């Protein structure tokens, strides 16, 4: 009896299989991959590259032309150099042989950034012969950079504002190039302007129509928004945030993770302490700290005596 039931079941299944295979279209559909649907991109990149978010910045996955400048495979770096009037892509600007002025920690970061940008870093100058930079020879005191030049240009690797300004002037007077040093993983708007000798480190953001003065430092992860004006030899420390239309004076210092709200100004030589939130203008030589930022003491007279 059991054998008869088993045979009947097998016969039934065989007949169903034969009926199924007799319909080729239905059989073929069983082996097709699921239909793909076109996913509409977000509104902010409907006509641009496919973007992802990492550490607050846009990573460009594919090289393509957007807004008239070429995007790199990982990050886009646009901008133009002051005095050129051209929208050159900084990552693809002409590389040159450069020496680093300074031998401390900031100089080490600038040296690696210049190499990542495509420059040939051949050594460093520092008045302290005991200082060392990884893989780079010490070429003598700083004065030798323009008195016995061995490279086409120099990169400013010193944190002190007064020295940056002085060394920039000496190098330019000697006919040496002082290029803007921009890390490949920084974002610089195509409409931004970078002054000679400024340094824009990894993760920094320079938004539309911002102007960065000669010799200024935009340190790791710093962000300046649209229409900001950063003075000569100013220093925006790591993680600092400047909203739109902020004015920062010459040789001013904005501390780590400090914030300045939209439209405020920080005067020449002023100091904003780490973590401060500036909601009022800071006078020239002023020192502020806290949330909201309040004066730390009397405004200083000389703005060039304070190291950055």
Which residues lie below 8 Å from residue 237, measured CB to CB, with a gap of 6+? 219, 222, 253, 254, 255, 256, 257, 258, 274
Provide the pLDDT for residue 6: 60
Residue 141 makes CB contacts below 8 A (sequence gap 6+) with 125, 126, 127
Q: Which pLDDT band, with edges at 50, 70 and 90, does 212 fall under?
A: very high
Kindly state the average pLDDT of the residues 94-108. Answer: 89
Cα–Cα distances (Å) from 223 to 17, 149, 230, 260, 280, in that order, read 67, 35, 12, 11, 19
Look at residue 194 and give its three-state secondary structure. Answer: strand
Instruction: Answer with the residue of higher pLDDT: 212 or 29.
Output: 212
> Which of 27-31, 111-115, 191-195, 294-298 shows the lowest per-residue confidence on average (mean pLDDT)?
27-31
Summary mean pLDDT of the chain:
76
Question: Is the pLDDT assigned to residue 73 strictly greater than 90?
Answer: no
Question: Can you tell me the mean pLDDT for 177-194?
Answer: 94
**Of the candidates 235, 307, 305, which has an alpha carbon nearest to the alpha carbon of residue 274?**
235
- Give 162 or 87, the one with higher predicted confidence: 162
* Statement: residue 200 has pLDDT above 90: yes
Across the range 162-191, mean pLDDT stands at 92
Map out the domains of the chain with their CATH numbers: 44-93+180-308 (2.160.10.10), 94-173 (3.40.50.20)
- Whether the per-residue pLDDT at 27 is higher than 80: the answer is no
- CB count, 10 Å around CB of 306? 18
Decide if pLDDT at 252 tops 90: yes
Which are the contacts of 202, defined by CB distance < 8 A and separation ≥ 6?
113, 183, 185, 186, 220, 221
pTM for the full predicted model: 0.68
């Amino acid at each position: 009896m059991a054998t008869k039931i088993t045979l009947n079941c097998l016969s039934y299944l065989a007949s169903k299989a034969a009926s199924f295979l007799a319909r080729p279209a239905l059989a073929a559909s069983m082996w097709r991959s699921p239909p793909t649907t076109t996913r509409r991109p977000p509104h902010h990149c409907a006509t641009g590259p496919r973007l992802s978010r990492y550490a607050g910045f846009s990573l460009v996955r594919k090289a393509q032309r957007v807004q008239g400048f070429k995007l790199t495979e990982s990050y886009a770096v646009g901008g133009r150099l002051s005095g050129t009037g051209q929208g050159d892509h900084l990552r693809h600007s002409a590389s040159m042989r450069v020496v680093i002025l300074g031998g401390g920690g900031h100089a080490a970061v600038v040296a690696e950034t210049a190499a990542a940008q495509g420059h040939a870093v051949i050594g460093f100058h520092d008045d302290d012969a005991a200082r060392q930079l990884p893989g780079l020879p010490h070429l003598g005191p700083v004065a030798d950079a323009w008195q016995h030049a061995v490279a086409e240009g120099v990169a400013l690797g010193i944190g002190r504002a007064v020295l940056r300004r002085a060394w920039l002037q000496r190098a330019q007077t000697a006919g040496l190039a002082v290029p803007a040093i921009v890390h490949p993983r920084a974002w610089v708007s195509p409409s931004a302007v970078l002054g000679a000798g400024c340094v824009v480190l990894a993760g920094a953001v320079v938004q539309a129509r911002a102007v960065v003065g000669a010799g200024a430092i935009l340190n790791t992860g710093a962000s300046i928004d649209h229409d900001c004006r950063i003075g000569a030899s100013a220093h925006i420390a790591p993680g600092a945030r400047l909203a739109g239309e902020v004015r920062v004076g010459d040789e001013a210092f904005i501390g780590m993770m400090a914030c300045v709200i939209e439209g405020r100004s920080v005067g020449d030589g002023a100091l904003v302490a780490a973590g401060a939130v500036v909601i009022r203008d800071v006078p020239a030589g002023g020192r502020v700290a806290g949330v909201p930022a309040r004066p730390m003491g009397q405004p200083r007279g000389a703005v060039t005596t304070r190291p950055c």
